[in-house]
Amino acid sequence: MTSLPPMEVPRRLERLTAVLEEAGLDALVVSHLPNVRYLTGFTGSAGMLLVHAGGSVLVTDGRYRDQAGEQVAASGAVVDVAIGATAADQREILAASASGAARVGLEDHVVTWAEQRALSERLAPAELVAAGALVEDLRRSKDPGEVARIRLACSIADAALDAVRSRLASSPTESEFALGLEVEMRTRGASGVSFDAIVASGPNAAMPHARPTDRRIERGELVVIDFGCIVDGYCSDMTRTLSVGDPGPDARRLFETVMTANAAGREAVTVGVECRAVDAAARAVVDAEGLGDAFVHGTGHGVGVEIHEAPRLAATSRDTLIEGDVVTVEPGVYVTGVGGVRIEDTVVVTASGAEPLTCSPKDLLL
Ligand code: ZN
Ligand code: ZN
């Protein structure tokens, strides 16, 4: 891991401060922990960050007294660290730091009603404003250090699948195969999985988000394998569909359709393209085969410090791709009685198109 290039953490707070000014906010309370980590390097399980042009402060509890200071210092972020024993103490510290701010933004998509009321009382007379996903929007454009972490997570996942794929021939259970993938990823340096792997065989493959079971994987069955890992806080995400031996003409047709849709989606990805146009490009292929009703999810999503983040690549998305977006392209079809196929790549959006970060072969047959 020592060869990973540094990330530009201090610049993130600078950019956010400029965004707040544009939005007419004097301060922002960042409650969503992945956003706190993104802005400060702090990885604890509790804490809030007040971002304020006059000085930002990370408030957490005594469990993180040493860790918070060390991680913030290591990130280079210009943030004070304060410890409050209780939630009320922590709100007190936030309020003191926000004194003079007239309009304070909250991350309304994550703050609970109870927390909003408590903050409103404590921060009065400041007006609390629903600020939306300001930090999530900032997170979209990844710097080279971030892309390097996602790239490494993707290559670890590639290597893990390569190491275990032949085991499918010896009829493991779905759970055994999933565990094998996890062990291989962690052995290669991942800190954990980015989500619980999906290994769905035979009839289970018709369920897009099936959990691995004790079912044994047999010859001639479609097996959907969707998995990823975490490297230094950044996720990978990839799906391959495999079969031990010929799964038959119906399954092969599903597979060929999704392969073409995956390629069409990736080809549509470039800077300035509407996310819904990428979805439309993949979906057109599936529709043309009369399988539109079997493609029951969006074409993709952003990947970064969270496994699902902005932007969404779906028919209802209003986002446009920007340089540095890291997104998945993952068309799938699911037919009860036949099974399912999903083929997912993670790509980084560049001015010249989509650069793939997941590189495992896509062949159907083991
Ligand atoms: Zn996935
Ligand atoms: Zn995905």
CA–CA dist 79, 66 (Å, integer)? 15
Tokens 């007239």 appear where? 102
Domain presence at residue 248: yes
Ligand showing the shortest atom-to-Cα distance for residue 197 = 1
Q: Are 107 and 31 in contact (CB under 8 A)?
A: yes
Domain presence at residue 252: yes
What pLDDT, on the 0 to 100 scale, is given for residue 286? 98
Encoded tokens for 300: 């993709």
Helix (H, G, I), strand (E, B) or coil at 101: coil
Say how many Å lie between the CA of residue 318 and the centre of ligand 1: 22
Ligand showing the shortest atom-to-Cα distance for residue 238 = 1
What pLDDT, on the 0 to 100 scale, is given for residue 342? 98
Around Cβ 96, how many Cβ atoms within 10 Å?
12
Domain presence at residue 1: no
240 and 320 share a domain? Answer: yes
Domain presence at residue 122: yes
- Average pLDDT for consecutive 10-residue bins of the chain (366 residues)? 84 96 97 98 97 93 96 96 96 94 97 96 95 97 97 98 98 98 98 98 95 97 98 98 96 97 98 98 98 97 98 97 98 94 98 96 96
Say how many Å lie between the CA of residue 339 and the centre of ligand 2: 19
What pLDDT, on the 0 to 100 scale, is given for residue 152? 98
Residues having C-beta closer than 5 Å to ion ligand 2: 237, 328
Say how many Å lie between the CA of residue 235 and the centre of ligand 2: 10
Around Cβ 13, how many Cβ atoms within 10 Å?
21
Domain presence at residue 363: no
Is residue 149 packed enough to be buried (19+ CB in 10 Å), middle (13-18) or exposed (0-12)?
buried
Closest CA to 196 of 172, 212, 216, 215: 212
77 and 214 share a domain? Answer: no
Domain presence at residue 158: yes
User: Measured on CA atoms in the order 48, 309, 156, 171, is the torsion positive or negative?
Assistant: positive
93 and 200 share a domain? Answer: no
Say how many Å lie between the CA of residue 345 and the centre of ligand 2: 8
Say how many Å lie between the CA of residue 303 and the centre of ligand 2: 8
What is the count of structural domains for the chain? 2
Encoded tokens for 245: 């031996």
* DSSP β-bridge partners for residue 140: none
Say how many Å lie between the CA of residue 342 and the centre of ligand 2: 10
206 and 317 share a domain? Answer: yes
- For position 27, which CATH number holds? 3.40.350.10
Say how many Å lie between the CA of residue 301 and the centre of ligand 2: 6
Say how many Å lie between the CA of residue 307 and the centre of ligand 2: 7
Domain that holds residue 51: 9-138
Domain presence at residue 176: yes
Say how many Å lie between the CA of residue 276 and the centre of ligand 1: 19
Q: Are 80 and 57 in contact (CB under 8 A)?
A: yes
CA–CA dist 175, 159 (Å, integer)? 19
Helix (H, G, I), strand (E, B) or coil at 364: coil
169 and 265 share a domain? Answer: yes
Say how many Å lie between the CA of residue 242 and the centre of ligand 2: 17
